Structure 1
Amino acid sequence: MLVGTKEGVVFLQRDAAGSGWSVAHRALTDKHIHAVIIEPTTNTIFAGATQDTVYASQDDGQTWEKRDKGITQQDIYSLAATQINGKVRVFAGTQPAHLFYSDDMGKNWSELTALRSVDTSAWHFPGPPHIAHTKHINFHPGNPETMFVSIEVGGLLKSTDGGQKFEVITGMDDDVHRTVINPQDPDRIYVTGGDGMYVTSNGGGSWEHWTTTDHEIGGYPDLLTLRPSDPNVAFVAAAHHGPGSWRTSHNAGSRISRSDDGGKTWQVLGNGLPDRLKGSIEAMSLEDWGESFSVFAATATGEVWGSDDGGQSWSEIISGLAPISKGNHYVNLVPA
């Protein structure tokens, strides 16, 4: 398992007996890593760093090289990869909010300038430096030239031609965190953000506001994942309130919740999880192996939590890592 932290990429491995986890390797330890992806056709690992650039490894993280020729904004917030017409394309989103792509595994990059052809006058961010960033990039599972880009804070943008043109998708709050698309029904799209969760069943033609800031799952949802073999099974991680409240409470009050009906109803999970975690949950993944699946969640206070029985029971599989944190989310949650 790869975890991006304030002190680089941490490689975690299960113990031989499968009963525990340990740190196997650390890389890029002088970088605050915002995003880590593995491009599956080549097994190339890409890491994007805060106030820095893109790095790549082709030997399971043992050695790394900077790959950023053409990237003009040196503050990477998001990474994604897909195949278009049989060829791998890698994307990088930045702060300020720009979008870049590479067709040669990151050696050369070009900007998709159409992202900023929409009205950007209201793009902002509440905390310093008050500049919007490209938080998340996603693709239609059947047509990767249709892409969704989340701007925090600025709204949801959609392109149907690989980023040559973009339109703003209306019907939701403009504090957009990420999109999650049902792989079996791509017209069902979930959006998490600062005003809760929005869902469309018609590809974005209209939206329903399914959770609000006073919902029991938490008022500030971010991470959301669906089980690939049964997308009605979903997990969401949400802080009690937004980051502005952490300056005084020093507690994100995070929860993980599960839905078995595609997000219409939610059950707050416990059985090993504290009711409200102090750290904000900044990363989450799901590994589906057919009979059951594992879920993992990492926090801004340096813990990774895991469940190997579909979320029924949880344990802290490792602690003491550097913060797993978007920007400076960790500052008000970790002792100085």
Structure 2
Amino acid sequence: MAICLSHSGVSSYASGTRSNEIYVGTTDGISLLKRGGDGQWQAVDQLLGGYHICSLSIEPTTGAMLAGTHNGGFAVSTDRGATWEFRNEGLASQNVFAVASSTVGDEIRVYAGIEPAHLYVSKDMGKTWVELDGLRKAPNIDDWTFPPPPHEAHVKHIIFDPADPECIYACVEQGELLRSTDGGATWEDMLSRAGVVDEAEGDAHRVVVRPSHPNELFMPTGFGLFFSDDKGKTWKNIKERTPWIGYPDPMVYDPNRENVMFVAGGRRNPGFWIAKQNASASVARTTDGGATWELAMNGLPETFTASIEAMCLDSYEGGCSVYLGTTDGDVFCSDDDGQSWSKIVSGLPPVSKGVHYMLVQGKMGGPPPQ
């Protein structure tokens, strides 16, 4: 089974055997990595060259590959990436941050989150899109923004309740965490109602929900890692459990051992990366469902200047493999639950959401530190 490594695509996989193919979303298309019989990885192909890939996934029923790009909109491939078709009819922007799919009955639904922050659904694999405009009725919408120009918030991440495909979580950066229980027709604002929108600055990076713990939500934000044990009614910032990571973003869990999770991010927010061209990135691991965390850095650079922009976990019988993609164009892997890491491929285009790679590489100014 092939898996994908991208900023806001599917990140946790479960299969009978370890995957030997990874599609990596980069600022210049998709790099296809393959593991040879000697266990060594190589980049063997580049797909969708010229497009900045933010979200990448494989729809499980049809096997179609779904890509959200920063400069071309939504693209789909039905032949394992050999050819692609852009399908943007109905989308107001071709800056697509997040793509996700779900199956309701026999119907496959594909969702696209864009910048400015609007959400769309397609029931014909992207041939036509309909806006879910209830998302725009959040009470704090006038406060939605984003530090770099054009200062427009975006829908950064989309997931579904594992037990109910009609229950959708949409993360707006920066603005709000929203949830719909009716397939996207209506939405509730989860941070404002819980009274933590100011503490989190509405900066919801993503939400992690594990099937056997449906009431527990983890939410990496620009202001720490938040946790809810009552399905979002109340939240607690548990940043003291991961003091090395002040700006958490990528987060995965092992579908076969759900208490095993990983989170990664920079020591401080991107406003601090610019001067020293250093994200001071770290990876942390928990084996008890988030009660305690420890650094998992053995084999990673001692001074990790790049930003870790993507992480995925491939779970299989007997263990799991965790993969990291960075703004330096490196991919790291751990086959032993994060006890050790190795660089499996280097020299790819940056793996990056938006302009993060430019901030770390000193190619542009940015927002002042907060």
What is the TM-score with the length of structure 2 in the denominator?
A: 0.88
Question: CA deviation digits over 1:230-287, x for unaligned, max 9?
Answer: 1111100011111111111200010011101111211101221124411111110001
Q: Matches of 1:217 and 1:42 in 2, distance apart? A: 41
Map 1:14-53 → 2, pairs under 5 A: 14-18=35-39, 20-53=40-73
1:195 paired to 2:223: yes
SS in 2 for 1:247: helix
Distance 1:294 1:55 in 2: 28
Q: Which residue of 2 aligns with 1:134?
A: 155
Confirm or deny that 1:233 pairs with 2:260: yes
2:299, 2:243 → 1: CA distance? 18
Deviations 1:47-91 (A, max 9, x none): 111132111111111111111111112210001011112311011
Give the superposition deviation at 1:312.
1.3
| Alignment correspondent of 2:245 | 218
Q: Deviations over 1:179-199 (max 9, x none)?
A: 000111111111000111111
The within-5 A match list for 1:319-334 is: 319-334=346-361
**Residue number in structure 1 paired with 2:213:** 185
What is residue 102 of structure 2 aligned with on the other side?
A: 82
Query: Displacement, 1:93?
Result: 0.4
User: Is 1:145 aligned to 2:166, yes or no?
Assistant: yes
Alignment-derived partner of residue 335 in structure 2: 308
Q: Please state how far the C-alpha of 1:335 moved relative to its aligned partner.
A: 6.0
C-alpha distance in structure 1 between counterparts of 2:225 and 2:74, whole Å: 30
Query: In the TM superposition, what whole-angstrom CA distance separates every residue of 1:158-192 from its partner, at most 9, and x where no partner exists?
Result: 11101100110024311110000011111111100
Other structure's SS at 1:121 match: helix
2:277–2:362 CA contact under 8 A, matched in 1: no
Does the Cα contact within 8 Å between 1:301 and 1:333 map onto a contact in 2?
no
Question: Secondary structure in 1 aligned to 2:357?
Answer: helix
> Deviation at 1:308?
1.1
Q: Does 1:62 align with 2:82?
A: yes
- Deviation at 1:332? 2.4
The 2-side partners of 1:296 and 1:276 are apart by: 19
Aligned residue pairs total 334
One-letter amino acid of the counterpart of residue 313, structure 1: S
Q: Aligned partners of 2:234, 2:135: CA distance in 1, in Å?
A: 22
Inter-CA distance 62–230: structure 2 relative to 1 (3 Å threshold): same
The DSSP-based 3-state class of the residue aligned with 2:358 is: helix
Corresponding residue number in structure 1 for 2:294: 267
Instruction: Give the whole-Å Cα distance in 1 for the aligned partners of 2:52 and 2:114.
Output: 14
2:234 corresponds, among 179, 184, 206, to 206
1:210, 1:264 within 8 Å by CA — same for their partners in 2?
A: no
Q: How does 1:87-126 map to 2 (within 5 A)?
A: 87-119=107-139, 120-126=141-147
SS of the equivalent of 1:130 reads coil
CA apart distance, 1:215: 4.2
Contact 1:255 1:275 survives alignment (8 Å) = no
Indicate the RMSD between aligned Cα atoms, in angstroms. 1.3
CA–CA distance in structure 2, aligned partners of residues 223 and 67 of structure 1: 27
Question: In the TM superposition, what whole-angstrom CA distance separates every residue of 1:290-309 from its partner, at most 9, and x where no partner exists?
Answer: 21110001011111110112
- Uncovered stretches (5+) of structure 2, i.e. residues with no partner: 1-21, 364-370
2:205 partner SS: strand
- Larger RCO (alpha carbons 8 Å, 6+ apart): 2
Contact 1:296–1:307 (Cα < 8 Å) also in 2: yes
Q: 1:289 maps to what in 2?
A: 316
* Matched position secondary structure for 1:186: strand
Q: Distance in 2 between matches of 1:275 and 1:263?
A: 25
Does structure 2 retain, via aligned residues, the 8 Å contact 1:138–1:147?
yes
Change (3 A) 1:294 1:116: same
